[in-house]
Every structure is written in structure tokens, then in C-alpha cells.
């Protein structure tokens, strides 16, 4: 029998890995991937709790989170593509122009 707290530990570790990646990486694709990692850890958390609680709502929430993650990826990557279009002409190490 696998105990619930093991699932929760895995999920907590995955979430913190995502936070670490988000805070430290500079590549914007990597930052987006870190957010996906965080969402996956939330999904694991919910699915495990739902299973051990003998309740289905948590897994319904997982279903919705996956749907929203898809929509978010579409918008986010759309912005990445337009952002890249604007920077294609000039090579820039760092896209940051808004400062202060």
C-alpha cells in the first residue's frame, strides 16, 4: 500500500522544482515549462487526495486544469511568437526594454 503522504511529498518536491526553475532560468521557454511542472504537481496532488478521500471532485478539477493549461499554452506561445517577430531584426541578448 502506498501512503498518501508519499504522493504529497512527490508533488511538493515537483512544485518546488518548478518554482526554482521559474525564479532562476532566463530563457522564456524554460520559464513556461517550469509553470507546466508546477501545474502537473498540483494535478498529482489533487488526483492523489481525491483517490484517498474516495471522492471524485478533485479529479474533475484536474480535468479542468489540463483544459486551462492547454488554453494558457496557446495564448502564451502566441505572445512568444509575436514577441519574437518584433525582435527578429535586431539581435538582442536580453529582451528587457521596460525598466525602472
Partner 1 sequence: MNNINMSFDLYHLWQVCGGQLILIVAGLLLILVDIILMEKDQEIRGRWMGWLTVFIFAATIGHLACREWDLHDTIFMNVFSADKYSIFISIVMTCAGLLAAMMSIGYLRNNGLVRGEYYILLVFAVAGAIGLIQSVDLLMMFITLEVMSLAIYALAAFLKDSSYSQEGAFKYFLLGSFGSALFLFGVAIIYGTTGTLNITQMAQYISGGSYSTLPILVAFAMIMAGFFFKMAMVPFHMWTPDVYEGAPSVITGFMATAVKAAAFGVFMKVLFVGFTPILASSGQPDFAATVNLSALGPYWKPVIWWLALLSMFIGNLIAVSQSNIKRMLAYSSIAHAGYMAVGIIAANGEGRMGVLFYLFAYTLMNIGAFGVVYLIDGMERKAQDLEDYRGLGYIYPSLSFLLSLFLVAMAGLPPTAGFIAKFYVFAAAIKEGYFLLAALGVLTSVIGAYYYLRVIYLMYMKEKVKDVERGPIAAPTVVALVIAALGVVYLGLLPENLASVANLAQQSLAMIF
Partner 2 sequence: MVQLLFFYFALVVIGLGLRIVTCKNPVHSVLLMLLLFFHMAGLYLLLNAEFLAAVQVIVYAGAILVLYLFVLFLVNLREEIKMSPFVQKGKWAGLVAALALLITFLRGVFNFTLGPHGQYTIEKVQQITHTKAMGEAIYTTYILPFEIAGLILLVAVIGGLALAKKEDKGA
Shortest Cβ 97–partner 2 spacing (Å): 10
Say whether residue 94 binds partner 2 (CB under 8 A): yes
Element (H, E) at 93: none
Site string for partner 2, 40-79 (x = CB under 8 A): x--xx--xxxxxxxxxxx-xx-xxx-xxxxxxxxxx-xxx
**SS3 track for 35-93:** HHHHHHHHHHHHHHHHHHHCCCHHHHHHHHHHHHHHHHHHHHHHHHHHHHHHHCCCCCC
Shortest Cβ 68–partner 2 spacing (Å): 6
Site string for partner 1, 23-62 (x = CB under 8 A): -----x--xx--x--xx-xx--xx--xx--x-x-xx-xx-
Of 7-26, binders to partner 2 (CB under 8 A) are 7-10, 12-26
Shortest Cβ 51–partner 1 spacing (Å): 11
Say whether residue 35 binds partner 2 (CB under 8 A): no
CA angle 21, 27, 32 (to 5 degrees): 60
- Of 26, 23, 20, the C-alpha closest to 41 is 20
Amino acid at each position: 500500500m502506498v501512503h498518501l503522504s508519499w504522493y504529497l511529498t512527490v508533488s511538493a518536491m515537483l512544485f518546488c522544482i518548478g518554482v526554482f526553475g521559474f525564479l532562476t532560468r532566463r530563457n522564456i521557454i524554460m520559464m513556461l515549462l517550469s509553470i507546466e511542472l508546477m501545474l502537473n504537481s498540483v494535478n498529482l496532488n489533487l488526483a492523489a487526495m481525491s483517490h484517498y478521500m474516495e471522492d471524485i471532485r478533485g479529479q474533475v478539477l484536474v480535468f479542468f486544469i489540463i483544459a486551462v493549461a492547454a488554453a494558457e499554452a496557446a495564448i502564451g506561445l502566441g505572445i512568444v511568437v509575436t514577441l519574437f517577430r518584433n525582435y527578429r531584426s535586431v539581435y538582442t541578448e536580453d529582451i528587457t526594454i521596460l525598466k525602472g
